[in-house]
Structure 1
Amino acid sequence: MTTRSIKSLQIGMHWFPERAGGLDRMYYSLVGALPGAGVAVRGVVAGSPRVAEDTDGAIRGFGPAAQSLPRRLMAARRALRDAIGIERPDVISSHFALYTFPGLDVTRGIPQVSHFQGPWADESHVEGADSLGQRAKRYLEQAVYARSSRLIVLSEAFGKILTSRYGISPERIRVVPGCVNVEQFNLPVSPTEARLKLQLPLGRPIVLAVRRLVRRMGLEDLVDAVKLLKRRQPDVLLLIAGKGRLEAELQARIDEAGLADNVKLLGFVPDQHLASLYRAATISVVPTVALEGFGLITVESLASGTPVLVTPVGGLPEAVAGLSQDLVLPATGATAIAEGLAAALDGSLKLPDADACRAYARENFDNAVIAKRVASVYDEAIAAGVVH
């Protein structure tokens, strides 16, 4: 842990209460916890004036995310210049390369740490972006990462991507997993009470997936898995929480498979109901097929006392293996997911109980635990100085 106070400038994407996303949730959690680890926080994000009101001016929104890209980039650069003009930080902490890039000249001479949440260019390619856009994003990322004396990755799997795709030396990479406010998800209610609150059926096995409805999340495989699983568990109920461009396609897939009573798309679930939803579930599942650095939802589910099955993709196995290797499915795809869920629901797969899930989340991923680890990386970066 750091032995002195560090002044940090945190460059995020959006402010979580305004825009829901995994990166935004982690940024929000981390900036709230860092002061407890000796790191003073100021920051800039794409957001409204309410961001400054919510944080007593510590984090400032430089304008709405709906603005045109050139205007956002100009606004981000202005915000960074203004923030550094008010007080020069000891370290620049970049969580999103796009908004860090336009200020690279403004932040020159200040040690920088990049929080690598995933290969932005590659994620865009998986979702169908054109190759020119992908190349532009890769260039931006490369420029920002080259400036960073330390890079924080969520898993060993993403550390390998930084080295192989971006040419970053392993000596500059540190693995620090994502964080959650464990107490927020540790509700003093039973699964039955959570189901009553949410008006969910009491007698059915409930499988939960909290995901953006986009291609790489493996939700098509999950729907197909329920079709297979239904033969052995006719009353199984899969709840998919989240929104995204695949919504209509997934609903059509559900209807065509005759699964209208077994699979429900819930849309966006607000934060105040999310912990109850995890608690109500028999088991969670993360069916990702590509580019998963950590899977924050794995820890959220465990913090709620609900075990979670994950595909062997990216950093997902690292997130749960310390609790039980049995939580890692042998493969991606509908068959592997269906067999894993069947074993979990019929009791042939021994799952960790609620207390074990909560204790594992608290000891390894709570905000305060992760903030101390991040602070020590900032200390390293400051000692290492500026990358030229």
Structure 2
Amino acid sequence: MAAKTLRTLQLGNDWFGERQGGLNRVYSELLRYLPGAGVEVRGLVAGSPKVSVSTNGVVTGFAPAKAPLQKRLLAARKAGIDALRHGHFDLIASHFALYTLPIVDKLSRTPTVIHFHGPWAAEAGVEGQSSLGSRVQAAMENAVYRRGRRLIVLSEAFKRELVRRYRVPEERVRLVPGGIDSTRFHDQFTRAEARERLGWPVDRPTVLAVRRQVRRMGLENLIDATAEVRKRVPEIMVMLAGAGPILGELKERIAAAGLENNIRQLGRVEDEDLPLAYRAADVSIVPTQALEGFGMITLESLASGTPVLVTPVGGLPEVIRPFAPDCVLADTATGTIAEALGAFLSGARALPSSDACRAYAVKNFDWPVIAAKTRQVYEEALA
């Protein structure tokens, strides 16, 4: 007998087709694959009218992402109430506290599952937001999270955050990692072919870091480490993919160290070009210093057949250690990053093979697998 279709209202942040980000990517991919697991979805996000057109009405943008905050919140409440009045949903799934808060008074009437994508207030604090702003964000999060019958986290690290920081009872938390579109990220080209298509040097040992250029991502340490690695591997080429508020500072740091021939800032890489960029690298690196709950880029790299080195921050080791423990660095220090890059690029330490990387990612993190696990948590919330 076929399982009952679950009807869900999915409250997101921004739409990935209009604004990038890990939360937005997970949300859009999950909505794409949940129907295959018997979960009907309707989504509400901050976005333009084009969102509804591009998703055939499955996801609606209630207000532009850059609209004034008050307008967005009022629009989120109106859209949420309208959806609940006419949608006959079995369950609400919240992915972002800010846009769930406007209908928090309605959550007691419909079973709710919270997808916890990260400590919003804490991340803002790390990036320099005022303590008052962080406290307001934390209050919003607490108001929403305590309504969840179940809370889904991407990693054990985020589970600890929920229990410690937000006092969520541990028995209500379930771990469902992020997923990967294995058909999109695929090693269909050789590294040389990928580099030629991108205009990258073909014959140099190449490291890729796909990171938003903000403080906690550890890019300053990576730049400093590259100066050390160059003594051992003179031809090292580090590609920094991403944009952000410290892009200019990083450029100055690269110049001050005389690394213009060893580090290239690519800026924002278009989403359709990311699989090729991963494939072109000998190794990816995630040098995060703080607050990394999962790290989707680790899966993207592995599915593209490219091994990835990670610092032991948040959920990063949980993804990599079962597969390649040597690729989890001992700490976040510049010297540790330099030693690892030098050893792997010089051949002193072996990297996992391309086939092994992809097989691990597909077996454990392909989106249909993750969607089925998500449905199981939804069913728990309805029991």
Q: State the TM-score, normalized to the length of structure 2.
A: 0.98
Aligned CA RMSD, in angstroms, stands at 0.9
**Secondary structure in structure 2 of the residue aligned to 1:105:** helix
Per the alignment, residue 217 of structure 1 pairs with 217
Please tell me whether the aligned partners of residues 13 and 45 of structure 1 are also in contact (alpha carbons under 8 angstroms): yes
* Offset at residue 348 of structure 1 (A): 2.0
Offset of residue 187 of structure 1: 3.8
Q: Is the 8 A contact 1:80 1:106 kept in 2?
A: no
In the other structure, the counterpart of 1:386 is none
- Kindly state the Cα deviation for residue 271 of structure 1 after the two structures are TM-superposed: 1.2
Does the 8 Å contact 2:187/2:303 carry over to 1?
no
What's 2:369 paired with? 369
1:66-124 CA-to-partner distances (Å, cap 9, x unmatched) read 11111111111111111112212111111111000111123331111111111000000
Contact 2:95 2:114 in 1 (8 A): yes
Secondary structure of the corresponding residue to residue 212 of structure 1: coil
Write the mapping of 1:270-309 to structure 2, written as runs, cut at 5 A. Answer: 270-309=270-309
> Which residue of structure 2 lines up, in the alignment, with residue 359 of structure 1?
359
Secondary structure at the aligned position of 1:203 is classed as: coil
User: Offset at 1:3?
Assistant: 2.8
> What residue number does 2:182 align with?
182
- Report deviation, 1:308: 0.1
Q: Number of aligned pairs?
A: 382
Distance (Å, rounded) in 2 between the aligned partners of 1:102 and 1:245: 30
Amino acid at match of 1:279: R
Q: Which runs of 5+ in 2 are unaligned?
A: none
Please name the residue that 2:5 is paired with: 5
Q: Which has the bigger relative contact order, CA under 8 A and spacing at least 6?
A: 1
**Bigger CA drift: 106-115 or 52-61?**
106-115
Residues 107 and 147, structure 2, Cα contact 8 Å, conserved in 1 = no
CA contact (8 A) 2:94 2:115 kept: yes
Determine helix, strand or coil for the equivalent of 2:106: coil
1:245 aligned residue? 245
Aligned twin of 1:118: 118
Alignment of 1:333-344 (within 5 A): 333-344=333-344
Question: What residue is the counterpart of 1:153 in the other structure?
Answer: 153
- Structure 1 runs of 4+ with >3 Å offset: none
Aligned amino acid, residue 225 of structure 1 = A
Residue 40 of structure 2: aligned partner: 40
Q: Deviations over 1:207-226 (max 9, x none)?
A: 00001001111111111110
Q: With the length of structure 1 as denominator, give the TM-score of the two structures.
A: 0.97
Name stretches of at least 5 consecutive residues in structure 1 with no aligned partner: 384-388
Q: Tell me, in whole angstroms, the C-alpha distance in 2 between the residues paired with 1:102 and 1:172.
A: 23
